[in-house]
Amino acid sequence: MTTATTTPRALDFPLSDVRLGDTSVFQRALVEMLHLARVYPVDRLLAVFRANAGLDTRGALPPGAWEDFGHPAEDAWSEHDYPGREAAQTANLLRGHYAGHFLSMLAMAAAGEADPALRAKTDEFVSGLAEVQAALAATGRYSHPGFLAAYGEWQFSRLEHGAPYGEIWAPYYTCHKIMAGLLDAYELAGNEEALRVATSMGHWVHGRLSRLDDITRQHMWSLYIAGEFGGMNETMARLAVVADEPVFLATARMFDQHDLIAAGAARRDILDGMHANQHLPQLIGYVHEYEATGDRAYLEAAAGLWDQVVPGRMYAHGGTGESEIWGPAGRVAGDIGHRNAETCATYNLLKLSRLLFQHTLDPKYMEYYERGALNHILASRRDVRSDTSPEVAYMFPVHPGALPEFDNIGTCCGGTGLENHVKYQDSVFFRGAAARAELWINPHTSAELTWRAQGLRVVVESALPLASEVRVRVERIDGCLDPVPLTVHVRVPGWVAGAASARIGAEPLALDAKPGRYADVERDWTPGDELVLDLPMSLQAHAAVDDAQVRHLAFGPNVLVARSDSTTWLELALDRRRLLDGTILADDPDPRGSLLSSGAVRVDGIAFEPVWTGSDARYHMYVRSADATIGFAGVDTGVAARRREDDTTILADVWAAPLPRTRSAFVARVLDAVRRGHAEGLLGLGEARTVLLGAMEVDAAALRATAENAPDLGPAQEWLEQTADAEDAASVPIVEILTPEPASSGWHTSPPRIGVRATAGPSSVDDVEVRVGERDWRAYDGAFSIEVEGSVRVEARATAAGRTGFAARTLHIDTSPPTTEARVKTLGSSVEITFVARDDVSGAERVQWAGPGTFWATFQEAFVRALTDEEQIIEYAATDRAGNEEPRRRLVLPARPPG
């Protein structure tokens, strides 16, 4: 019998035993995805499979996009009779993957909701796939009767010969999704036929791979996207257990990528330039292989590679990757592009995190889980109902003025998105593997557990993510009032600001955990006992690991995004709002009250709201910290925060790590900063004294300083006395760069004319210089226009009596519209049209088009247009992120040829 050799230290509960509370913020996405699960026809999902097997499609159209019928001339070629890339017209080479995800969603939803109708729909889907598998086997064309796909077997044989992405498209990825859906249907919905179909597919997979040598397999898995196999190792390891066939574990190990395992286990970073979601599912499989074999290298590899992603390659909402590729380690701000954070990658990081937690009990994995589930996954579901689309995001980018790529029928993220929103309850509770009753609770949302083995019901009423109180109530299912011995481990999140508190009834309870750890409550619980936690939260601004001035705002677990039509960086005064505990003062005195009442909190005049609302409005997840004047605890001294040529200021010196915690340490830090600033010419002596006095006037309570016996402000007072009668040789010049207002996008769409103004109090300014980009400094002799395009840094400096003032501004300039290429593929009596827009400066925002009988619409994906007896005119044009519009262009479709 095939059984796991290594059991997790914390076990999960069946989806059917945990339900989200009615007040959970995750209910929004759950309800809408359950609607899609109930109304979407199974026949549409089976259409591509039936067409491939020569079965009646029952008039059903496939979902569309990546999940379509393919080219009419394409045959269901076997492994040997593919006519070659030049002769074969192929399309939709990933078809079948979306259906596999949909089957997983149905099984999860059927289990989680205990819904007979969803269970029946799952059974209908499995029966359809079994019929297709039998029909394919009956042809005798394929290498094993277990073959099941929506295209021929040729993609697999071409992969074995090194075919690149473009000729083929990740055939084992699609295989994995179909098999995973079948296994979910068996394990979650109890469908025995699903196990038979999956087992037969498993034998087909083993037959294909076992005839190859290891060198060939390693080359296959190294191929970009073509060799992407999803979680085939996970699925084969699962199948080995449930089908009790050891050969499948050997098959799972055939998907091992040796260099990846070795690097992860050795903590050697090799991720730069790799496709994130090609490799993340493998890591999940490695944990399953560890469970099945006991080979700890698998677990070490998965954990080691996880550490290379979180936090050094993780954006604020938990996403990773730019254009699906990992950048260098420790670079986040520097890796912000226009297509960050593929949602599939976060889907897999969450699956990996919960598995690693179960084996290690390390709370860092659940810290990430909370972040990613709330701020990326929930946010990835648009707040709208649809009968046809998952309405989920592909990329959830983080650049200024970003828009999530919603909809995604038939795409990879459309597929994982189907699953994401019907299993939010899967990581609220875990139970101990030992005999004694032990429960881990992650209180990020309201949920209820029915723990039949212990006869318990555990109810979590969580006001998170916007309010701090969490209540955990223990009840008996049978109504018995006898006490129950139970150890409860409740996660105290790392975002907790200040001291978390707890009580049971009126009795205070000492928590034995710091933020980011689990608090252990071991006692005999009387039914009805309620543990009440208060997890205080505050508004904070967190710097990117590679750029202290690039920050995201968060309130407790909520990543906040600014709503603005600008597509350039927003610059906010953040440092003069800082307190010693990390809190940022908002414009609103009660940020939580503002979030609860209006859904947003204002900071420096900009409205910020939680990213998870499902809004499709433009947003800014990161902003730049840029204070014009120096201040502390929200009190402005009025002294200019002049910048050095490396762009740092006095405030950067004050808030350099490690942060001061007491009022004495804070004042001492400010003293050092103003003395350095005066020596460098950033501050006049009077200005330095003003700044220091301002710091000394802020009391400990306003700073939220750590308690100390008696603040020692003596050194600061001594310096003030020493400089009381001193005179400045001259004032430091104040330099201003004057620019016209940009468009609402934040871009200048015509060449901006730049001026410089420099003043030095009673002194006269000796000279003023300017520099544009990387050019040399030159004397400023009057206003000038900038003719170059892109994000252009303009610097100016002025000298007065040997003291130099400095200023810099970055201008975003794009004066040219984008250009669009119309790509037309002939399909006999119709054509497939794709529009590709290019803008090398601000980036293309959208393409719009119209034709006979259509309105001016936004282009989403390739579409097919039937030829008619007359020419057709298709008009199209693109708009860039700066707001420049391309003149309308025309595409002429010829009349249909006679006959």
Nearest to 201 by CA among 147, 156, 126: 147
As a whole number of angstroms, the distance between CA 383 and CA 612 comes to: 10
Which backbone phi and psi does 789 adopt, to 5 degrees? -120, 165
As a whole number of angstroms, the distance between CA 263 and CA 248 comes to: 25
pLDDT at position 761 is 73
Which tokens in the block code for residue 897? Answer: 């040829």
Q: Which residue type does 350 have?
A: L
Instruction: Put the strands of the sheet holding 863-866 in their side by side order.
Output: 819-826, 830-838, 863-866
pLDDT at position 729 is 54
Task: Give all strands (DSSP E) within 673-827, no chain letters.
Answer: 734-738, 753-759, 767-772, 778-779, 784-785, 790-800, 803-813, 819-826
Q: Which residues contact 479 (CB under 8 A, 6 or more apart)?
A: none
DSSP for residue 453: G
Q: How far is CA 549 from CA 276, 643, 747, in A?
A: 27, 13, 21
Distance of CA 857 to the CA centre of its chain: 29
Q: Identify the residue whose tokens are 């925060």.
A: 641
Greatest Cα pair distance in the chain: 101
CA-derived radius of gyration, the chain = 31
- Each residue's pLDDT tens digit, 172-192: 999 999 999 999 999 999 999
- To the nearest 10 degrees (0 to 180), the angle between helices 412-420 and 343-360 is 50
- Each residue's pLDDT tens digit, 301-348: 999 999 999 999 999 999 999 989 999 999 999 999 888 999 999 999
Which tokens in the block code for residue 247? Answer: 């050969």
Mean predicted lDDT score pLDDT of the chain: 93
> Can you tell me whether residue 793 is helix, strand or coil?
strand
Distance of CA 875 to the CA centre of its chain: 36
- Name which of 625-634, 725-734, 789-798 the model is least confident about: 725-734
pLDDT over 70 percentage in the chain: 99
pLDDT over 90 percentage in the chain: 79
> Can you tell me whether residue 802 is helix, strand or coil?
coil
Question: Number of C-alpha atoms within 13 angstroms, CB side, residue 325?
Answer: 11
Which tokens in the block code for residue 648? Answer: 């740092």
Kindly indicate the confidence band of residue 421, based on its pLDDT and cuts at 50, 70 and 90: very high
The pTM score is 0.89
User: Rounded mean pLDDT of 201-230?
Assistant: 97
> Can you tell me whether residue 348 is helix, strand or coil?
helix
With b meaning 16 or more CB within 10 Å and e meaning fewer, what string describes 531-543? Answer: bbbbbebbbbbbb
Task: Using alpha carbons only, give the angle 33, 109, 202 rounded to the nearest 5 degrees.
Answer: 115
Kindly indicate the confidence band of residue 1, based on its pLDDT and cuts at 50, 70 and 90: very low
